[in-house]
């Protein structure tokens, strides 16, 4: 047993109550949902919040639903719900690809999409998935709601746009009919941080890539979009030549660091290979979908 430093604990039964508690108790207060990032850090005394506000009872924030031309995902939706959602499986199989390689069933049963995104871990998978798909996040405070694009959400590692008295309530993903998507990751062992991971989506029209997104994990900022690679793909015929060019671009523009998981050059090389593999798989799904 590891013993966290002393902290206060409160329980919120509504979003408004959670926001009121955040406002009342100030910046050393943290929301806790699944707790799979925060609690280990507290047990190691690397994080020492003065107060936790438990939001596990806000079950009205646990949903995956279609709203017009968008998918809305409540912030308290657990990994296991994302993994088993028929809506996501049919529109964006990238979610299932990613969920299969996120930690283990115990973590997936408790961890939430809101917690995952707000942790701001550069190696976190859903940050890369949401950035890939050009999603956005709804952020609420006592005074109102704002919407921030996932690609603008991170200020740096472990730093987001969410202020001390705000909380993310929903993630919104635009629906792109006929899109194919995929997620590829290499890790030393399930549950470890990724060595590198790549997500992508493609839409293809007349054999030409009409739209695309590529998001990277563990090789730079959280949910790092591969903007140059995306530009290189758009308007190009789908195929190995395009994928190879995009792979080179993604590898050249990511910012990996040498650590226990390997040297930066290895991670760059992995980004190239995983970009190729993800694009191939996404394209195959486009074809299977009949676009």
Partner 1 sequence: MAVSQLIGARVQRREDPRLITGHGRFIEDHTLPGLTHMAVVRSPHPHARVLGIDASAATALPGVLAVFTAVDFHRILSGTMPVTPSFAPEKKYVPGRFPIADQEVCFQGEPVAVVVATDRYQAADAVDLVHVTYAPLPAVVDPEVALRPDSAKAHVDGPDNIGWDMTYDGGDIEAAFAKAEIRVTERILQQRLAPTAMETRGVMASYSPYDEQLTVWLSSQNPHFIRLFVSGAMGIPESRVRGVSPDVGGGFGSKISPYPEDYLVPAASKLLGRPVRWIETRTESIMTTIHGRGQVFTAEAAALRDGTLLGLRLTQVLDLGAYHGTFGAFQACACLMAGGVYRWEAIQARTIGVLTNKVPTDPYRGAGRPEGTHLCERMVDRVAQELGMDPVEIRRKNFAREFPFMNNFGLTYDSGNYDGTLDRALELSDYQGWRRRQEEARGQGRLVGIGVSTWVEICGLGPSQPTAAATGGIALVEAAQIRFLPSGSVAAYVGTHAHGQGHDTTFSQIIADTLGVPLDAVDLRHGDTAEGPSFGYGTYGSRSLAVGGMALLTASNQILDKARRLAAHLLEAAPDDLEFTAGAFSVKGNPQASKTIQEVAFAAYGAGLPEGMEQGLEAVSHFDPPNFVWPFGAHICVVEVDRETGAVEIQSYTAVDDCGNVINPMIVEGQLHGGIAQSVAQALFEEVVYDHESGQLVTATMLDYLVPTINEMPVPTLDRTVTPSPTNSLGVKGIGEAGTIAASAAVINAVCDALGPLGIHHVDMPASPDRIWQLMQEARR
Residues in contact with partner 1 by CB under 8 A are: 1-3, 5-6, 40, 44-45, 104, 186, 188-193, 195, 260-263, 265-266, 269-270, 273-274
Q: Kindly state the tokens that stand for 70.
A: 């968008």
What span, in angstroms and rounded, lies between the C-alpha atoms of 45 and 2? 9
Separation of alpha carbons 213 and 134, rounded Å: 7
Whichever of 5 and 89 has its CB closer to partner 1, that residue is 5
Q: Pick the closer one to partner 1 by CB: 11 or 45.
A: 45
CB nearer to partner 1: give 1 or 207.
1
CB of 278 to partner 1, least distance (A): 13
Minimum distance between the CB of residue 177 and partner 1, rounded to whole angstroms? 33
Nearer to partner 1, 40 or 174 (CB): 40
Smallest distance, partner 1 to C-beta of residue 99, A: 14
Q: What is the DSSP letter of 6?
A: P
Between 139 and 198, name the residue whose CB sits nearer to partner 1: 198
Is residue 84 within 8 A of residue 77, CB to CB? The reply is no
Take residue 226 and report the two structure tokens written for it: 């591969």
* Cβ-based nearer residue to partner 1, 1 or 90: 1
Query: Could you tell me the maximum CA-CA distance found in the chain, to the nearest angstrom?
Result: 61
**Shortest separation between residue 203's beta carbon and partner 1, angstroms:** 27
**Least distance to partner 1 from the beta carbon of 244, Å?**
13
CA–CA gap between residue 98 and residue 60 (Å, rounded): 24
Q: Where would I find the beta strands (DSSP E) of the chain? A: 8-11, 29-32, 51-54, 64-67, 70-74, 136-141, 144-149, 154-156, 159-160, 167-174, 180-187, 194-205, 208-217, 224-225
From first CA to last CA, the distance across the chain in angstroms is: 54
For residue 4, the minimal CB distance to partner 1 (Å) is 8
Least distance CB 17 / partner 1 (angstroms) = 28
How many CA atoms lie within 13 Å of 217's alpha carbon, on the beta-carbon side? 30
Please identify, using beta-carbon distances, which residue of 46 and 177 lies nearer to partner 1.
Answer: 46
d(CA 163, CA 155): 12
């Amino acid at each position: 047993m590891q013993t966290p430093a002393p902290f206060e604990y409160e329980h919120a039964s509504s979003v408004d109550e959670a926001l009121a508690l955040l406002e009342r108790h100030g910046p050393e207060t943290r929301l806790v949902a699944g707790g799979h990032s925060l609690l280990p850090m507290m047990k190691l005394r690397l994080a020492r919040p003065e107060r936790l506000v438990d939001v596990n009872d806000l079950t009205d924030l646990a949903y995956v639903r279609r709203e017009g031309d968008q998918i809305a995902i409540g912030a308290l939706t657990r990994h296991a719900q994302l993994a088993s959602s028929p809506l996501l499986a049919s529109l964006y199989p990238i979610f299932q690809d990613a969920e299969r390689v996120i930690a283990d069933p115990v973590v997936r049963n408790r961890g939430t999409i809101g917690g995952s995104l707000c942790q701001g871990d550069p190696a976190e998978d859903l940050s890369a998935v949401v950035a890939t798909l050009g999603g956005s996040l709804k952020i609420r405070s006592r005074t109102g709601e704002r919407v921030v694009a996932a690609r603008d959400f991170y200020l740096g590692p472990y730093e987001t746009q969410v202020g001390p008295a705000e909380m993310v309530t929903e993630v919104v993903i635009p629906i792109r009919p006929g899109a194919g998507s995929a997620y590829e990751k290499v890790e030393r062992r399930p549950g470890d941080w990724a060595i590198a991971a790549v997500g992508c989506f493609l839409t293809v029209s007349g054999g030409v890539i009409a739209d695309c997104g590529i998001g990277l994990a563990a090789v730079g900022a959280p949910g790092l979009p591969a903007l140059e690679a995306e530009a290189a793909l758009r308007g190009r015929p789908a195929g190995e030549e395009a994928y190879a060019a995009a792979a080179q671009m993604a590898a050249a523009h990511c910012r990996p660091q040498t650590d226990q998981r390997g040297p930066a050059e290895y991670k760059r090389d992995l980004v190239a290979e995983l970009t190729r593999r993800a694009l191939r798989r996404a394209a195959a799904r486009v074809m299977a979908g009949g676009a």
